[in-house]
């Protein structure tokens, strides 16, 4: 089973700042089968990034993903008020399709 | 527009059973793999189970260790509905259960659409 670790647990930033979120896997994630999801309170998760770096339909270009192997990053170039949320990484290359514990981005 | 509508949640005693349903619309269920993800109150996301699309056979199934042998995922393509039969329920199964659609027919794809969830509470 691939275990995903996300850091930091909480990121306190101001609107307009850059956010860098990390996701580390316990073993290599094959073919970059790594996704990022955003979840706001009381809402279902929303797909942001798949294949480690491809933006999902309708996702603004301030969101970008990078990485391969065991180290992946989600970057939000300039935080908008609606970006304050919890972000989860997930691998989907093989079962079990585990999620990371999440990084909460909150307003400083 | 893709929509996923979960139902069937509720309060159940430990050891009891529930069957969750996920009604799909806006796409043809038989063409896609599907799955269930849960979220305990105040906690993160936990993948529960996936089912692929393998023609008319109903698909290959996959389970988290925490539910293997107790939960069964299935699909009725004629009704465009996904199911999760949950038996021998435990307090730790208490969670909001989301239905989510895979991007393609295989399970090794990301989850591109999610429902709003149905709450399962296991308590005496």
For residue B82, give the H/E element and its range: strand B81-86
Confidence of residue A104 (pLDDT cuts 50, 70, 90): very high
A75 in helix, strand or coil? strand
Given a cut of 60, whether residue A26 has pLDDT beyond it is: yes
For residue B109, list chain A residues with Cβ-Cβ distance below 8 A: 92
Task: Search chain B and give the residue with CA nearest A50.
Answer: B110
Report the Cα–Cα distance between both ends of chain B, in Å, rounded.
40
Given a cut of 60, whether residue B56 has pLDDT beyond it is: no
| Residue A99 in contact with partner chain B when CB distance is under 8 A | yes
Side-chain half-sphere exposure of B36, counting CA atoms within 13 A: 33
For residue A48, the model assigns a pLDDT of: 98
CB B88 within 8 A of CB B97: no
CB A15 within 8 A of CB A79: yes
Q: How many residues does chain B have?
A: 124
The average confidence (pLDDT) of chain A is: 96
For residue B59, the model assigns a pLDDT of: 79
Given a cut of 80, whether residue B58 has pLDDT beyond it is: no
Set out the domains of chain A in order of their start, with CATH numbers.
4-107 (2.60.40.10)
Average pLDDT over residues A12-29: 96
Given a cut of 70, whether residue B91 has pLDDT beyond it is: yes
Which residue in B38, B45, B73 has the most chain A C-beta atoms within 10 A of its own C-beta, making it the best mutation to test that interface?
B45
Out of A50, A86, A102, the one facing B110 most closely (by C-beta) is A50
């Amino acid at each position: 089973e691939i275990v995903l670790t996300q850091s930091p647990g909480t990121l306190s930033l101001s609107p307009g700042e850059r956010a860098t979120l990390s996701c580390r896997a316990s073993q290599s994630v094959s073919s970059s089968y790594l996704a990022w999801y955003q979840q706001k309170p009381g809402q279902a998760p929303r797909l942001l990034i798949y294949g480690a770096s491809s933006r999902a339909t309708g996702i603004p270009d301030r969101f970008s993903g990078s990485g391969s192997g065991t180290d992946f990053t989600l970057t939000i170039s300039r935080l908008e008020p609606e970006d304050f949320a919890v972000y989860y990484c997930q691998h989907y290359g093989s079962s079990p399709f585990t999620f990371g514990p999440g990084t909460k981005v909150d307003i400083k | 527009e893709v929509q996923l509508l979960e139902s069937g949640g509720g309060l159940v005693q430990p050891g009891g059973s529930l069957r969750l349903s996920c009604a799909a619309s806006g796409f043809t269920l038989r063409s896609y793999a599907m799955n269930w993800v849960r979220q305990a109150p105040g906690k993160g996301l936990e993948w529960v189970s996936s089912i692929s699309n393998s023609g008319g056979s109903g698909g290959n199934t996959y389970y988290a260790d925490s539910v293997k042998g107790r939960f069964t995922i299935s699909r009725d393509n004629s009704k465009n509905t996904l199911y999760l039969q949950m038996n021998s329920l435990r307090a730790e199964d208490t969670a909001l259960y989301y239905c989510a659609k895979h991007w393609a027919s295989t399970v090794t794809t990301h989850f591109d659409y999610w429902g709003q969830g149905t709450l399962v509470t296991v308590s005496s």
